[in-house]
A and B are shown apart, each in its own frame.
Chain A
Amino acid sequence: SQQGEEDPQALSIQEGENATMNCSYKTSINNLQWYRQNSGRGLVHLILIRSNEREKHSGRLRVTLDTSKKSSSLLITASRAADTASYFCALTPGNTPLVFGKGTRLSVIA
């Protein structure tokens, strides 16, 4: 399968804690992206990391990519209730369009 697999499927944390979710995949990729989806809404792009990059930051978000292990992680620091959402990794395997995983549901409890 070209799909990424997020782990865990669901995560519940207290406000202020860090949240880490992982994405594993099996194919070679050009880049890997992370998206957020609030309940009932469209997806919003968070970060794109290229296959030759190891780490990227955007505000409270930190994404790492380990192509030797075929895995990526998304870290949200100092989480807020507003971070409650589903988070998806999406792969670009070769020249094919983006392939989305099934997502991690994050609940941040105030």
Chain B
Amino acid sequence: NAGVTQTPKFRVLKTGQSMTLLCAQDMNHEYMYWYRQDPGMGLRLIHYSVGEGTTAKGEVPDGYNVSRLKKQNFLLGLESAAPSQTSVYFCASSYGPREQYFGPGTRLTVT
């Protein structure tokens, strides 16, 4: 099992550009999450999904959109990147509200 994988691992964007981060899990988990982590901070939840076709806002959803068209995939989109979105993005999945399994992260820099 690959667990949770994230694509890409690194990305540099210019302000105003758009991009999509892909998260994939092979554990048949219902729940999937997107977090951002900034220096000295814990993880802050951006959006999450409790099943295929469902999404919900987390603590810091502004500037991001998500889609869960397939159970195994959870996509995070930035429509118009801003320097404040420079961060490390982590995807996670779980069986319900229990322990979460994390991907390796995507380091995004917006210049």
Q: Interface-forming stretch among A14-22, A61-69, A71-79, A98-106?
A: A98-106
Other-chain contact of A45, B44, B48, B99 (Cβ < 8 Å):
B99
Report the minimum CB–CB distance from A26 to chain B (whole Å): 16
Contact with B along A31-60 (1 / 0, CB 8 A): 001000000111111001000000000000
A88 within 8 A of B: yes
Closest to A41 in B: B104
Interface residues on B, range: 20 to 34
B42 touches A3 (CB 8 A): yes
Closest to A105 in B: B40
Number of A residues, CB within 8 Å of B: 20
In Å, the complex CA distance between A95 and B56 comes to 13
B61 within 8 A of A: no
Other-chain contact of B42, A42, A45, A48, A101 (Cβ < 8 Å):
A101
Given contacts A3-B42, A101-B42, A102-B42, contact A41 B99 (CB under 8 A): no
Taking Cβ atoms with an 8 Å cutoff, the residues of A that contact B are 3, 30, 33, 40-45, 48, 88, 92, 95, 97-103
A-B contact pairs, 28 of them (CB 8 A): A3-B42, A41-B104, A41-B105, A42-B90, A42-B102, A43-B90, A43-B92, A43-B100, A43-B102, A45-B100, A45-B101, A48-B98, A88-B42, A92-B97, A97-B33, A97-B48, A97-B58, A97-B97, A98-B33, A98-B45, A98-B97, A99-B45, A99-B59, A100-B42, A100-B43, A102-B40, A102-B42, A103-B42
